[in-house]
Amino acid sequence: MHPCLRRKGRGGSFKSGPRKRAGQEWFHFLLFYSFYFFLVNRFWVLFRRYFDLRGDKVSETDTIARIKADAAFRGANLWVLVFAIFTASLGLNVNSTAVIIGAMLISPLMGPIVGMGFSVGINDLGLLKTSAKNYAVATLVSVITATIYFLLSPFKEAQSELLARTAPTLYDVMIAFFGGAAGIVAIATGGKGNVIPGVAIATALMPPLCTAGYGLATGEWMYFLGAFYLFFINTVFIATATFIGVRLMHFEWHKDVTPEGGRKARRILMWIVVLTMVPAGILTLDLVRKSLFKQNVARYVEQELSWQGTQIISQRADRDAKTLQVAVIGKEVEQEQIALAEQRLQEYNLGEYHLSVIQGTQSDSLLQLVGQLETSKSDYKQTALQQSQEIHDLSEALEAYERYERLAAELRPELKVLYPQIRTFALTKTVEQCTDSMMEKPLVMAIVDLVPNGRITTDETAQLREWLKARSDADSVKVVVSRSVSD
pLDDT tens-digit profile of 416-425?
Answer: 778 887 888 8
pLDDT category of residue 193 using cuts at 50, 70 and 90? low
Count of domains in the chain? 3
316 and 275 both lie in a single domain? no
312 and 281 both lie in a single domain? no
Close Cβ partners of 313 (under 8 Å, ≥ 6 residues apart)? 327, 328, 329, 363, 366, 367, 370
78 and 197 both lie in a single domain? yes
183 and 226 both lie in a single domain? yes
C-alpha–C-alpha distance, residues 252 and 59, integer Å:
11
68 and 193 both lie in a single domain? yes
Contact yes or no for 464/446 (Cβ under 8 A) = yes
Whole-model pTM? 0.57
255 and 167 both lie in a single domain? yes
Beta strands in 285-371 (DSSP E): 310-318, 323-330, 354-358
Lowest mean per-residue pLDDT among 17-31, 97-111, 204-218, 446-460: 17-31
Q: What is the mean pLDDT of residues 367-396?
A: 60
Judged by DSSP in three states, 372 sits in helix
Q: Is the pLDDT of residue 473 over 80?
A: no
149 and 195 both lie in a single domain? yes
Q: What is the mean pLDDT of residues 277-286?
A: 74
Domain span including residue 233: 60-288
275 and 310 both lie in a single domain? no
Q: Is the pLDDT of residue 233 over 70?
A: yes
In a domain? residue 402: no
In a domain? residue 430: yes
Q: Is the pLDDT of residue 446 over 60?
A: yes
In a domain? residue 21: no
Quote the mean pLDDT of the chain: 77
274 and 315 both lie in a single domain? no
